[in-house]
Structure 1
Amino acid sequence: MRSLLKFDLSHLRGDVYGGLTAGVVAIPLALAFGVASGLGPIAGMYGAIIVGFFAAMFGGTPTNVSGPTGPMVVVLAGLFASLSGDVGLIFTAVMLAGLFQIIFGAIGAGNYIRLVPYPVVSGFMSGIGVIIIILQADAFFGHESPSGTLNALAHLPTVLSDINYSALVVGVVTLVVAYKWPTKWGTYVPGALAALAIGTVLSLFMPAMPILGDIPSGLPSLHMPVFDQSAMMLVLEAAFILAVLGSIDSLLTSLVADNMTRTRHDSNKELIGQGVGNAVAGLFGGIAGAGATMRTVINIRSGGVTRLSGMIHSVVLAAVVLGVGSVASVIPHAALAGVLVKVGMDIIDFSYLKRAHRGPRWDLALMALVLGLTVFVDLITAVGAGVVLAALAYVQQVAKIQLEELASRPYAQTSDDEQVLLDRLGTQVTIFEFGGPLSFGAAADVGHHVRERYKQATHSIILDFNRVPFLDVSAARAVETIADDAHKAGKRVYITGMAQTIKDTLSSLGSDDSLSDDAHFDTRIEALQEIAGRSGTDERGGSVRPVQAVAAQ
């Protein structure tokens, strides 16, 4: 704790400017995400303040700026609809999400969350962008937004038949300003804030349209956890989804920050910081948040270097909240929709989609599948299915390469001394050289390939494990199968170069029962000398055709 209270003040000026700039940028997004979640604009502000402050204080990425993000809001909006707006249960889910993230960090899950394949990340992030746009379509045309993506799509024809043109004009103007706001002006007034301000001012001179209305301001109130047995499974599921998506979103942002600052973040510490922020946010009526890429990039470009910048960003928002109610009450929903449509478009991975046709077709298909599941089913199914399919595809590709190596490399690398013995032994021995860890995908077929290869060997088989660092259960069973089949065929198996850890694995699984006690040798030449001694060959046997030696990768 003492280390947390020590701050690096050598970059104070940059941290102050970075925090101020990120805080100004966060204002319209916090309001918009709060409305989109169903919990109201002030909940978005509280979430940005609390998550931003505690994630910066306890997190593992010094320049990260955290707050409400698209993925989190999409889950919260779905939960709001499923729980009929039960605020107590929703904030309980946010608190539990924070606890899950703390657990993820404590058990070291941060090292694994980063292993999610890019097509899966691209697919669900693009799907989230599509969902945000769909959910904002009704407000963009001047209508109340129904809950749920499918409901919003079903309601779209009705909306298009009764357009509020005042709201449409405001939404279009807001969207255009957000896109076209000059970069050099953005140094002084962020594009999102300018777009929201211009859209709001324009709405004051146009016919009536839906607006935010009265917004409470001031300090948040305490929301104690609520446990309703009938809804607990739904709350736990939503909390887990929030935790997983928030963790992925935050760590992706951390990677962006690393690339910009040439530093390396602490993934597990970052998850703990995000978890603390979300747990406290739920306790005080704030929506869930995560590391926000755009705000983090702005912070870094504005001079932010240490965690002080993220904390200052929260202080700026807290100061705004104290007087935001009267000003923000006249903001039209259409203007917020325009800002969120821009956010949704930014989330969609157009950079990959433009080049995807030039890459592996499987990756494009996987990305499209995850995107479709995200939009039309749910996020956890999309991510789970994507990770499983990507892992299976990878294992299949590796197994194919390993088996092709087994068939395509007919001669092992041998020393001069080994070659002399091989020439003497001729077809009495076959060598199988395993180069690297044998995947469980290839293990199922390697026994068959070995059987086909050693048919011509009249006596002995050498399995060379000199380059094998470890062995899993599937590979151990494959070794057991090879040994059993060889024993039944009357052939003797020799093991060379096997590490003690692999021997222990085989022994503990009983996979070495068909191997004799003297089957293990440190080097391949020792095994060849043993075979030569058993066969009684001498120099006059040199005219026998050389042994076939194969390598298994």
Structure 2
Amino acid sequence: MKSFVPHGLRRLDNIRGDIYGGLTAAVVALPLAIAFGVASGAGPVAGLYGAIFVGLFAALFGGTPSQVSGPTGPMTVVMTGILVQFTAADPVNGAAMAFTVVMMGGFFLILLGVFGLGRYISLVPHPVISGFMSGIGVIIILLQIGPLLGHKATGSPLESLRMLPEMIKDINPYSISLGFFTIIIVYLLPSRINRIIPAPLLALFAGTAALLLFLPEGSVTTIGEIPSSIPMPDMPVFSLRMFPNMVKSALILALLGSIDSLLTSLVADNITRTHHDSNRELIGQGIGNIVAGLFGGLPGAGATMRTVVNIRAGGKTPISGALHALVLLSVVLGAGKYAKYIPHVVLTGILIKVGTDIIDWSFFRRLHRTPRTAVLLMFTVLFITVFVDLITSVAVGLVAASLLLVQRMADLQLKSIQAITEPGDESPLCEEAMSILRAAKGRILLYHLSGPLSFGAAKDMAQRLNMIDDYEVMILDMSNVPTIDFTTSVSIEDMIRGAQAEGHHVLLSGAQPVVRDILARRGVFELLGKENDFHRRLHAIRKAANLSGIEVGEASK
């Protein structure tokens, strides 16, 4: 248990920077937490509770000292769908089941960390992550179309697009005016002012003031009062009928939370020149999400913008992340009653900025220099993310990326295969071996394999051999093959059987221990016979010369 004692509580050498970083991160997090809560359908307090509990426990138990966690755009998009799904299926207990899913997602995150799977998240190809995140950004923007025009938010991007003509016919001028006022602030606020007061917070205050001072009462909707008390925990609620969907939704949250958090951890590493602990970070995020779900808070993950703000303000240890959560808690307890004046459309403007920030613009700017397969993969994942669902997009992206990788590796493996009957200067043979092959005049085929061989190249490897039949003895040379997979072993067995069936002698040379073990399980050595298995290639070539009745002099004996 000692390894999970928060490091930040044992480090006080940066306390001043951590205090300033935590306060600054809290200022940035406040409007975002409220906006995410409203956007999710769970209410502003759910966003604040998520920022408080995920932020506190992920800081204390996570593996990235300077990281600030809380509700994020991607996690909010998923949570919105979860709330809609479960409240539609069970209006009475649906919301409770949705927050149970948040707890389950936290549990799965802990499992990912405990079993050391954090490092595998970094193996997700960049085009998949880019398309996934950009798709989430597009979803956030599309879902804000209704509120910006003065209508209720729709449940899906497709519905937003379908309802757009009707919404345009009935635009609320006060709503769209206040919305664009907010958008102008969050996009165009000069950086020197943004360093003093973050654009989202200024937009929140300015938009609320504009409503109270200049707009007619009731012209736009507001978020209502936030409870100013410490919440009571709610026990998990399960449904046997809905349990498979709960598990699926929890896995989506865990997968997205791990990607979101560990990408932010990499950003923090680049700025601070440190190295995070991926598995510990997942455990910390899991604990935070379990507690957040227990108290009715939104799921969260490492938040890139809040983390960068924290680091630039001086935050270096978990104290800053924990302080940011405590500051938000004090705001809820002391100023929750004033939140009722905040207009929905102001939060809409803030979320539109969040959506555009999530889109991977750097990928789009480099499209003309990016391989076509990567571009196609990115847009495929983006389209499926927006118009199908998140888990399908990641699954399709990973499968497609894996197939592309297998194809590229297979091409490289096939290029390394040499069918040698007349050795040239580039052949990997000693002088004696080359003299024997030259004397054989095509009767000895050295089928030289090189590098690790996998299922992608297995079929073509066998087909190449089938195209050669004018030889008497084949030497299957595996001297430079460190490993093979099961499919390759099957292909090698088929090659041997096929050659023997055609009346050819088959010898094997240079198989390394790992390769020998796999071939032995297939019974390849019984098929060959012990007398045809050689550890050295030259010995196999000498045996081939004897089988072909070749006299090559003393050097080839």
Q: Same fold (TM over 0.5)?
A: yes
What's the CA shift for 1:273?
1.4
Q: Does 1:479 align with 2:488?
A: no
Q: Does 1:497 align with 2:516?
A: no
Q: Does 1:334 align with 2:345?
A: yes
What's the CA shift for 1:541?
10
1:470 to 483, 493, 498: 483
What's the CA shift for 1:262?
2.2
Q: Does 1:168 align with 2:176?
A: yes
1:458 to 472, 490, 495: 472
Which residue is 1:107 aligned to?
115
Which residue is 1:192 aligned to?
200
Query: Partners in 1 of 2:71 and 2:58 — Cα distance?
Result: 12
Query: Partners in 2 of 1:155 and 1:323 — Cα distance?
Result: 40
Residues 357 and 364, structure 1, Cα contact 8 Å, conserved in 2: no
Q: Secondary structure at the match of 1:514?
A: helix
What's the CA shift for 1:110?
1.6
Residues 149 and 172, structure 2, Cα contact 8 Å, conserved in 1: yes
Q: Does 1:244 align with 2:255?
A: yes
Alignment of 1:44-443 (within 5 A): 44-84=47-87, 86-204=94-212, 205-207=214-216, 208-406=219-417, 412-443=427-458
**Matched AA of 1:483:** I
Q: Secondary structure at the match of 1:224?
A: coil
Q: Secondary structure at the match of 1:413?
A: coil
After the TM superposition, which of the residue ranges 473-482 and 180-189 deviates more from structure 2?
A: 180-189
Q: Cα distance 1:63–1:432, how it changes in 2: closer, same or farther (>3 A)?
A: farther
**Matched AA of 1:392:** L
Q: Secondary structure at the match of 1:329?
A: helix
Task: Give % identity.
Answer: 48
Q: Secondary structure at the match of 1:518?
A: helix
Which residue is 1:24 aligned to?
27
Q: Cα distance 1:56–1:467, how it changes in 2: closer, same or farther (>3 A)?
A: farther
Query: Partners in 2 of 1:433 and 1:8 — Cα distance?
Result: 59
Residues 413 and 450, structure 2, Cα contact 8 Å, conserved in 1: no
Q: Secondary structure at the match of 2:527?
A: coil
Q: Cα distance 1:10–1:519, how it changes in 2: closer, same or farther (>3 A)?
A: farther
Query: Partners in 1 of 2:135 and 2:180 — Cα distance?
Result: 23
What's the CA shift for 1:424?
4.0
What's the CA shift for 1:405?
4.2
Query: Partners in 2 of 1:504 and 1:407 — Cα distance?
Result: 24
Over residues 320-365 of structure 1, what are the superposed CA-to-partner deviations in whole Å (9 max), with x where a residue is unaligned?
A: 1112312211110000000000000111112211221332222212
Which residue is 1:522 aligned to?
535
Which residue is 1:551 aligned to?
none
Over residues 261-298 of structure 1, what are the superposed CA-to-partner deviations in whole Å (9 max), with x where a residue is unaligned?
A: 22222222221111111111111111101111111111
Query: Partners in 2 of 1:506 and 1:10 — Cα distance?
Result: 59
Two-structure CA RMSD over aligned residues (Å): 2.1
Q: Cα distance 1:407–1:421, how it changes in 2: closer, same or farther (>3 A)?
A: closer
Query: Partners in 1 of 2:505 and 2:285 — Cα distance?
Result: 59
TM-score between both structures, scaled by the size of structure 2? 0.92
What's the CA shift for 1:506?
1.5
Residues 496 and 506, structure 2, Cα contact 8 Å, conserved in 1: yes
Residues 418 and 449, structure 2, Cα contact 8 Å, conserved in 1: no
**Matched AA of 1:457:** Y
Query: Partners in 1 of 2:432 and 2:64 — Cα distance?
Result: 56
What's the CA shift for 1:464?
2.3
Q: Does 1:43 align with 2:54?
A: no
Residues 65 and 296, structure 1, Cα contact 8 Å, conserved in 2: yes
Query: Partners in 1 of 2:328 and 2:406 — Cα distance?
Result: 48
Task: Give unpaired runs (5+ residues) of structure 2.
Answer: none
Residues 424 and 541, structure 1, Cα contact 8 Å, conserved in 2: no
Query: Partners in 1 of 2:136 and 2:227 — Cα distance?
Result: 29
Residues 126 and 348, structure 1, Cα contact 8 Å, conserved in 2: yes
For these two proteins, the number of residue pairs brought into alignment is 541
Query: Partners in 1 of 2:373 and 2:33 — Cα distance?
Result: 37
Which residue is 1:445 aligned to?
460
